A and B are shown apart, each in its own frame.
Chain A
Amino acid sequence: MASFREFFFGKKSAEDAKSRLQFVLIHDRAEISPGLFEEIRNDIIMAISNRLNIDPSYISINMDEEAGERRLLVDVPLKNARRPTATRSTADTRR
C-alpha cells in the first residue's frame, strides 16, 4: 500500500537514485552518451524506414547490460507492407 508520503510525492528518493544511476552507468560504461544514442536511434529508424513500411513511433531501441555484457536491443514491429489497407486484424502487429 502506498504511504501517505508516497501517494502525494511519488516513489521514495532512493529508488529514483538507483534507477537513474543504473541508466546513466550503462551509457557511461559503453562510452555512448544519451545524445549520441539518440542519433544512432534516428539513423537506425531512417535506415529501416527507407526500405520497410514501419511506424517509427513504435520502434524501441535500448541499451541493456547483463552480467557485464552490453547489448543494443532494437525492436521494430513491422506493418504489413504488401497490404497496407488490409482489414484483417493480424496485419497490424502493433501493440
Chain B
Amino acid sequence: MDSVVITITSGKGGVGKTTTTANIGTALALMGKKVVIADADIGLRNLDIVLGLENRIVYDSVDFVEGRCKLRQALIRDKRAGELYLLPAAQTRDKTAINPQQMIAMINELRDEFHYILIDSPAGIEQGFQVAVAPADRVLVVTNPEVSSVRDADRVIGLSEALEKGPAMLIINRINSARVRKKDMLSVEDITEILGSQVIGVVPEDEEILSSTNRGQPVVLNSKGSAAQAYRDIARRIVGENVPLTMPSNGSFWQKLFGRA
C-alpha cells in the first residue's frame, strides 16, 4: 500500500500536537482511509484519553518492541471512525525505551496495511523528538501565534530539514481572528513570513476543544464548529485535495446562535 507517515511535532509543549493528531487522524478515517495514530510521547501518553480509548489499552508500543506482543495486539480500533487505530505509548517507561531504528522498523510494519500513519511527537528536541521524526515521510509543525512557540517551531523546522525530511509544513493553532484584526496577535501572514514555511492549516481557538476533550470525542466526529472544520480541511489537503486556506472565524455571536447545531 502507498502509505504516508506523518509526524506532528512542535518543539514547545502544550501547543496542540495531541489534539491535532487525534482530529486529523479521525478526519482521515472518516474519509474512508485506513489510519493508525501512534503516540510517541512515552511516559506522558495522552492520545488515548483525548480519543476516549484509555480503558481499552492492553499492550503498547514498548511491549511490541520488547517482544511481549504482536503489533496487531497493541492496536486499538476506534469503531466510531471506520478504520481508525490507536497505537498507544507506554506510560510507565521513558523516552529511551524505543530508539530510532526500532521506531522505523515498527512503523514500517504498518505501512503495508494502512494509508496514513500519524505520529504524535513529544515536546522538546531530544531523543523523544528524534524517535518520533525518524520514520516520517512528512513533518507537520504545530505552532501558536505567540513568540515562544514560533521560535521553537523554527528550531524544529531546521532540525527536520537537517534530518532530510523535506520542508516541514505548519499548522497554526489557537488563532483568534478578532485579536489578529486588532493587531494584538501575530497573523498567519506574519508567521509565514517569519518562518518561511508553507501553512497546511489554520485552527481557531475554540471552546469546543475543551468540552470534546473532556468527553474523549474529537471535534471532527460530530461538530460543525470552526475548529472541527479546520481539521477536516487539513485532512483533505493531506490527501491532496485543493482546499483554499481560509481564515477561520472565532465564532461570532451569530455563529454561536446558528452555526453549531
A residues lining the B interface (CB < 8 Å): 12-15, 17-18, 20-22, 24-25, 28-29, 68
A68 CA to B182 CA, complexed, in Å? 31
Interface size on B, residues (CB 8 A): 18
A12 and B194 contact, Cβ closer than 8 Å, known pairs A25-B151, A28-B155, A29-B154: no
Q: Which residues of B contact A68 (CB under 8 A)?
A: 196
Q: Are B147 and A13 in contact (CB under 8 A)?
A: no
Chain B interface, DSSP helix/strand/loop, else mixed:
helix
Q: Are A25 and B183 in contact (CB under 8 A)?
A: no
Q: Are A21 and B185 in contact (CB under 8 A)?
A: no
Cβ-neighbour of A14 out of B186, B193, B196 (below 8 A): B186
- Is B61 close to A, CB under 8 A? no
A17 CA to B196 CA, complexed, in Å? 16
Nearest chain B CB to A46's CB is how many angstroms away?
Answer: 32
Interface hub of A17, A20, A68 (most chain B Cβ within 10 A): A17
Q: Are B147 and A28 in contact (CB under 8 A)?
A: no
Instruction: State which residues 161-186 of B face A: CB under 8 Å.
Output: 180, 182-186
B146 (CB) vs chain A CBs: closest residue: A17
Cβ-neighbour of A25 out of B146, B154, B182, B187 (below 8 A): B154
A28 and B190 contact, Cβ closer than 8 Å, known pairs A12-B183, A14-B184, A20-B147: no
Q: Which residues of B contact A14 (CB under 8 A)?
A: 180, 183-187, 190
A14 CA to B158 CA, complexed, in Å? 24
Q: Which residues of B contact A18 (CB under 8 A)?
A: 186, 190, 193-194
Cβ-neighbour of B147 out of A12, A15, A17 (below 8 A): A17
